[in-house]
Amino acid sequence: MRKEDVLFEKVLFGGKPEQKVIDNIRNHIRILYSACELFKDALLKHDKALMLSITDLEREGDIVRREIVSNIYEGAFLPFLRPSICRFVEIVDEAVDSIEDAAIGYGSYNLNLDKPTEEDCLRIADLNIKICEMLSIAFETLFSKEDLREKSLVIRIYEKKVDEIKFEVLGKLRETEINNFWDGKILSDFISSLTRVSDIIEDASDYLYIVNVSLR
């Protein structure tokens, strides 16, 4: 952008809060992606300390979310778009929360997964990374003329795969003997938090679609 354009923008519109919001949303999705990647890495290495470092990413995500919402409240974007953008950001944050819940379940409560369940969880973790990547691509579609529907469809397909694995895991777990209530609950919560990430990202992608059509 030329110097004169920047000056014109600043004098007339008082700066560019929209760009700040866009940069922060990118950062927020990147945090979600990093959390999913870290989760898979920690699960692969059986590294509980690494797994618990996801909580730092969650805190970072919270800070970014608050900044986005306050920028929007201060007047970024047209009022017609604001509620959908806010909701999108909140949903992404819920996904980060969900991966954090799974990470705490694994890292803090000494959860031991048997080999087949661990492999299934790794497949889910891998799919979560792919869905995050696709969400990031879908968000970038809002800057281009590309079709957002294709990206949403890919996200839905990934989510369906996660669902299939989830039912497989649940089927296997039903046959596993559980020695005490809390071990069972922690394992169950771990699986639901891990599989919920893809569900939430699918919701986020639906909201992106709403944002995209709202001004047309």
Partner 1 sequence: MTELIPLAACLLIAFGVGSNDTSNALGICIGAGIIKLRRALFLFGFFVLAGILLQGQKVMKTVGKGLVDTNLTILSVALTVSALLIILSNWKRLPLSTHQVIIGSLTGSGVASGADVNLLSLVEIVLSWIISPVVAFLLSYSLYRLMEKTISKLSLFNIEKILRRLLLAGGILVSYNTGANELATVLGPVIYSGLSGEMQASLLGSLFVFLGAFILSSRVIETIGKGITVLDPYSGFAAQFGAGSCVLLFTFFGMPVSTTYCVIGGISGVGMLKGMKTVQTSLIKKIIANWVIAPVSAFLICYFVTLAVKRFF
Choice from 1, 3, 5, 12 touching partner 1 (CB under 8 A): 12
Return the amino acid letter for 184. Answer: G
Euclidean distance between CA atoms 107 and 101, whole angstroms? 10
Q: Which is nearer to partner 1, 143 or 181 (CB)?
A: 143
The set of long-range contacts for 11-16, using a CB threshold of 8 Å and a minimum separation of 24, is none
Structure tokens at 141: 């579609």
Work out the end-to-end distance of the chain between its first and last CA atoms, rounded to an integer number of angstroms: 26
Binding positions for partner 1, 157-216, rule CB under 8 A: 211-212, 215-216
Q: Give the three-state DSSP class for 203.
A: helix
Rule CB under 8 A: say whether 22 interacts with partner 1: yes
Which window, 13-21, 62-70, 117-125, 161-169, contacts partner 1 (CB under 8 A)?
A: 13-21
Q: Which is nearer to partner 1, 2 or 115 (CB)?
A: 2
Rule CB under 8 A: say whether 15 interacts with partner 1: no
Euclidean distance between CA atoms 136 and 185, whole angstroms? 33
Structure tokens at 23: 């940069």
Which window, 71-79, 168-176, 184-192, 194-202, contacts partner 1 (CB under 8 A)?
A: 71-79
Q: Length of the chain, please?
A: 216
Euclidean distance between CA atoms 210 and 83, whole angstroms? 11
Look at residues 148, 128, 157 and name the one whose alpha carbon lies nearest to residue 207. Answer: 148
Q: Which is nearer to partner 1, 56 or 150 (CB)?
A: 150
Q: How far is the CB of 16 from partner 1 (least distance, A)?
A: 10
Site string for partner 1, 82-121 (x = CB under 8 A): x---------------------------------------
DSSP annotation of 215: T
Q: How far is the CB of 82 from partner 1 (least distance, A)?
A: 8
Q: Which residues bind partner 1 (CB under 8 A)?
A: 12-14, 18, 22, 74-82, 141-145, 211-212, 215-216
